[in-house]
Amino acid sequence: MHTLDRLGIKVFADGADLAGIVSLAANPLIKGFTTNPTLMRQAGVADYETFAHQAIPLVGDRPISFEVFSDEFEEMERQALRIAAWGANVNVKIPVTNTAGESSAKLVRRLSADGVQLNVTALMSLGQVRTVAEALEGGPPAIVSVFAGRVADTGRDPVPLMAAALELVRPYPNIELLWASPRELLNIVQANAIGCHIITVTHDLLKKLPSLDRDLDDFSLDTVKMFHRDAEAAGYQL
């Protein structure tokens, strides 16, 4: 069985819709929350900090991640320290590089040494995982987010890469590996099978959770009924 209460992996909800956060926070199977500037813009968030202060109380003591948005490392650091002060359950998301492709490893090392709980994001290669893990060594609890879904978008199977990434972070007890940008519910099962610690799932994809382990004949019949119902609703005639 693959129902969430039987899986070892922690499922985080990924989104910036406050109503969605309220709904998902009522589900004890959701173990944390993540956001990013793109999701916030899509949700119509106009004031970054106001949104954060609205969202944090909604999730209780579960972790929630907010991302810096500067492209300059000095300003990233200032933003990170401000975000970290918002709550003990806040993880600060730092991109693996800036837009010039310059590694953020030195910043990650400084922030981690200062006790900031980080979520280093947008990783897609094992070299990046290795560098970031070394920068986080000995620091407070941290998350390394590998965008497995985007890896899959390139035609590569993300499972071997994620399994290898898990081995790279294994020597670091303060680090959890997060499978980011899943494209389907199967990814939850795949991530769980290799022992990945966390998977973050968009609010829309989480709506499909009732389909986990659904009887396939029943699912087939429901699909046939959908086609028939929509054809009738459209008034199609031949």
Question: 156: domain CATH number?
Answer: 3.20.20.70
| Domain assignment of residue 234, yes or no | no
Mean pLDDT of the chain: 96
- The whole-number pLDDT of residue 125 equals 98
* pTM of the shown model: 0.94
| Domain assignment of residue 233, yes or no | no
pLDDT above 70 covers what percent of the chain?
Answer: 99
5 has a pLDDT exceeding 80: no
Tokens of 188: 């939850």
Q: What is the pLDDT of residues 9-64, one digit of tens each?
A: 999 999 999 999 999 999 999 999 999 999 999 999 999 999 999 999 999 999 99
Read off φ and ψ for residue 36, nearest 5 degrees: -155, 165
Q: Residue 79 — left, alpha, or beta (φ > 0 → left; ψ -120 to 50 → alpha)? A: alpha
Contact 126, 161 (CB under 8 A): yes
| Domain assignment of residue 160, yes or no | yes
- The whole-number pLDDT of residue 126 equals 98
The domain of 66 spans 4-207
- The whole-number pLDDT of residue 100 equals 98
Nearest 5°: the CA angle 23, 25, 30 is: 115
| Domain assignment of residue 100, yes or no | yes
- The whole-number pLDDT of residue 2 equals 58
| Domain assignment of residue 232, yes or no | no
| Domain assignment of residue 230, yes or no | no
Cα separation, 173 vs 177, whole angstroms: 11
| Domain assignment of residue 136, yes or no | yes
- The whole-number pLDDT of residue 1 equals 47
Residue range 82-86: mean pLDDT, rounded: 98
| Domain assignment of residue 78, yes or no | yes
Residue range 192-215: mean pLDDT, rounded: 94
Residue range 95-99: mean pLDDT, rounded: 98
Measured over the CA atoms of residue 188, residue 168, residue 161 and residue 175, the dihedral's sign is: positive
| 113 — pLDDT class (breaks 50, 70, 90) | very high
The tally of domains found in the chain comes to: 1
